[in-house]
Amino acid sequence: MNRPVLMAPLHKIAWILAALVLLPALVYVAGRVHSLNENEALLGEIYDQQLQTMLFAVDQYAWDVTRSWAGRLERLPVPTPEAEVQAFLEATPTVQAVFWADTLLQAVRWIARDEPARTVSPEAAALEPALVRRLLARQKLGYQQLAPLTLATSEAGPTVALVFAAEGSPPRLAGLVLDAAPFVGEVLAPKLEEVARGRFVLGVFGPGTEAPLYATAPLQRADLRHTRALWLFDDYELGIRLSGATVEEVIRARFRRDLGLIGLLALVLVGGAWMLYRNVRREVELARIKSDFVANVSHELRTPLALIRMYAETLELGRLASEAQRQAYYQIISEETQRLTRLVNNILNFSHIESGRKQYQFAPVALNPMVEEVMERYRFTLDQQGFRVEMDLAEALPPVRADAEAIAEALINLIDNAVKYSEADKYVRVSTGRAADGIFVEVADHGIGIAPEDQDRIFDAFYRASSSLVHDTQGTGLGLALVRHIAEAHGGAVRVQSRAGQGSRFRLTFPAAPVEAAPSLSTPVLQTDA
Ligand code: ADP
């Protein structure tokens, strides 16, 4: 009845919670994704710079090595004895030959390894006046330039002359002659390995080839992240990539991991909000149940009290003519009193159970006499209301170990419900019997039945099905909660079979008492009326 009033704030709470939790979570996630993207871009840039620096370092190394060779050549005495030249070539096996030329390019003295000195044309050493002028001019400015000039290109790669203006007087040009393949294989390879250190793959590629001349690990040109033309052999390219995953893969993997963590965090937040919402909903539900309960109980108290008062007053006035009429009034007063007693008992028992103070006195109980006694008590009411009553008590039932008063109370609650929730087809059948899981007593009716979705919940305290007929019927929602508690306290169970509109069957099952125990056949059970 208070549902709409309480449900409205519940929806509001749900929205507020969703806004409180989800909004910051979403904003945070969006922020993180954005900053992740930025960070990743920055990281990518840093990686690229690092890779380029490494390529630069290798190229610089090539320059340093050749520069030191040039220095050593320059320091040889002038004119240079052939033996000293051969000794120099011996010490620098990558250099094939050396040569000197005067600045007018009149004579070029060429000494190859293990060969006598000879004079060659300036063209053979790729020397031209313009180059001579340039090198001399640089030298005057205090900067010794090494000019790499391609002399020839063969299958094995280019042969290069490294020409520079040598120190000394008169001024002259000197040159170192190198082949690309041995230079890469013997001079650059160790440096590439040193730089790679297992974390990068570096390689040198000749012009137009997919496979490298030399690489620190298997490498294709297409895999390269960065390349740089070698200063010394400008057709040759130096290339690098990360070993294993590429930069993008590393970045993507990190991004995915971070996103996963954020997702998890968001899930935890949503989970927390959901639990909070459930708690609040339960609290609201409880508040509703409480207020329903108070309203129901007040109503249940008021009706019998009003009837008792009305009939008692009529009797008091002495206006009733016949004895039969008076008896009928007394009967009604007695019945209403019983109803009140049952109601109060249910509430008291429930409060005992809730506070853990309920105690049962277990003893062997014969079920059939107890059922008969309860039915005897009820017969008048049932007859009066026009119920067809059937009893089907199994013969030779063993006793059950039970608190007779408690199971009588459970039975009364079941019969009470059968009466309350029957409409036109007024029928109650009470039976006992033996089943696989114990001994049972069953109450069946042809009443309104219970919808499947309500069948689990009707045993919860205060729960009442939401059909209009149930709401028009008085009740507190405590009866079946008590029945279930009593059944479970006996090590048994209560089960319902029901179809909406066709009736219900409640079965209380108890374990049989140990065989040696003697049944106490005449336990007075109906103290509930006391
Ligand atoms: P109350 O009868 O006071 O509402 P109970 O705990 O005895 O509380 O029953 C809980 C609910 O189960 C009832 O409100 C009703 O919806 C449903 N119910 C119980 N017994 C029957 C029955 N025999 N037929 C139909 N519905 C029933």
- Give DSSP secondary structure letters for 108-177: EEEEETTS--EEE-GGGGT--HHHHHHHHHHHHTT----EEEEEEEETTEEEEEEEEEESSSS-EEEEEE
What percentage of the chain has pLDDT greater than the value 90? 41
CA of 501 to the centre of ligand 1 (A): 14
Closest CA to 450 of 415, 418, 494, 490: 418
Q: Average pLDDT, stretch 216-240?
A: 88
**Under 8 Å CB-to-CB from 338, ≥6 apart: which residues?**
529
Cα separation, 98 vs 109, whole angstroms: 8
Ligand 1, residues 480, 498, 508: which to mutate, most atoms within 8 A of Cβ?
Answer: 480
**305-320 mean pLDDT:** 90
Nearest to 204 by CA among 63, 58, 96: 58
In 3D space, the residue among 71, 166, 121 whose CA is nearest the CA of residue 110 turns out to be 121
Q: Tell how far the Cα of 449 is from the centroid of ligand 1, in angstroms.
A: 9
Determine the distance separating the centroid of ligand 1 and the alpha carbon of 242, expressed in angstroms. Answer: 74
Q: What is the DSSP letter of 237?
A: E
Provide DSSP, 431-495: EEEEETTEEEEEEEE-SS---HHHHTTTTSTT----SHHHHHS---S-HHHHHHHHHHHTT-EEE
Least confident of 75-79, 130-134, 157-161, 274-278: 75-79
Q: What radius of gyration do the chain's Cα atoms show?
A: 53
161: number of CA atoms within 13 Å, CB side?
24
pTM of the model: 0.53
17-31, 94-108, 412-426: the lowest-pLDDT one = 17-31
pLDDT for the residue 517:
45
Protein residue closest via CA to atom 14 of ligand 1: 464
CB within 8 Å of 448: residues ≥ 6 apart: 421, 422, 423, 467, 469, 470, 500, 501
Q: What pLDDT is attached to residue 473?
A: 77
Which residues, listed in sequence order, are joined to residue 239 by a DSSP beta bridge? Answer: 203, 227
Average pLDDT over residues 70-77: 89
User: Which atom of ligand 1 lies nearest, measured to the CA of 296?
Assistant: 3
Q: Which long-range contacts (CB under 8 A, 24 or more apart) does 282-289 make?
A: 284/6, 284/7, 284/9, 284/10, 287/6, 288/2, 288/3, 288/6, 289/462, 289/477
* The residue to which tokens 């969703």 are assigned: 18
Q: For residue 518, is pLDDT > 50?
A: no
Prior bond of 170 cis (ω within 30°): yes
* Cross-strand partners of 95: 178
Range scoring the smallest mean pLDDT among 121-135, 143-157, 170-184, 507-521? 507-521
Most ligand 1 atoms within 8 A of CB, residue of 411, 464, 466, 495 to mutate: 464
Tell the residue nearest (CA) to atom 21 of ligand 1.
Answer: 417
* Ligand 1 interacting residues, C-beta cut-off 6 A: 413, 417-418, 420-421, 445, 447-450, 458, 463-465, 470, 475-481, 504
Per-residue pLDDT band for 528 (boundaries 50, 70, 90) equals very low
| Ordered DSSP codes for 345-391 | HHHHHHHHHHTT------EEE-HHHHHHHHHHHHHHHHHHTT-EEEE
458 phi, psi to nearest 5 deg: -60, -20
Instruction: Indicate the pLDDT class of residue 515, thresholds 50, 70 and 90.
Output: low
Q: 361 CA distance to ligand 1 centroid (A)?
A: 27
Ligand 1 centroid from CA 500, angstroms: 13
Residue type for position 7: M
Residue 129 has pLDDT above 80, yes or no: yes
Task: Report the distance separating Cα 187 and Cα 59, nearest Å.
Answer: 11
- Tell me: the pLDDT tens digits for 145-161? 899 988 888 887 889 99
Q: Please give the average per-residue pLDDT across 11-21, as a whole number.
A: 80
- Atom 20 of ligand 1: nearest residue by CA position: 417
pLDDT at position 173 is 92
Structure confidence at residue 4 as a pLDDT band (50, 70, 90): very low
Rounded to a whole number, what is the largest CA-CA distance in the chain? 162
Distance CA 148, CA 265 (A): 61
Task: Give 429 Cα–ligand 1 centroid separation in angstroms.
Answer: 17
The two three-digit tokens of residue 386, written as one number: 């026009």
Residues 370 and 375: their CA atoms lie apart, in Å, by 9
Average of pLDDT values for 440-456? 94
Distance from C-alpha of 182 to C-alpha of 92, rounded to nearest angstrom: 11
Q: What pLDDT score was predicted for residue 253?
A: 82
pLDDT band of 519, cuts 50, 70, 90:
very low
C-beta neighbour count of 279 within 10 angstroms: 10
Other residues' Cβ atoms within 10 Å of the Cβ of residue 276:
15
Confidence of residue 168 (pLDDT cuts 50, 70, 90): confident
Residues in the chain: 530
Ligand 1 atom with the smallest distance to the CA of 503 is 24
Task: Please calculate the CA angle 265-271-274 and round it to the nearest 5 degrees.
Answer: 145
> How far, in Å, from the CA of 411 to the mean position of ligand 1?
13
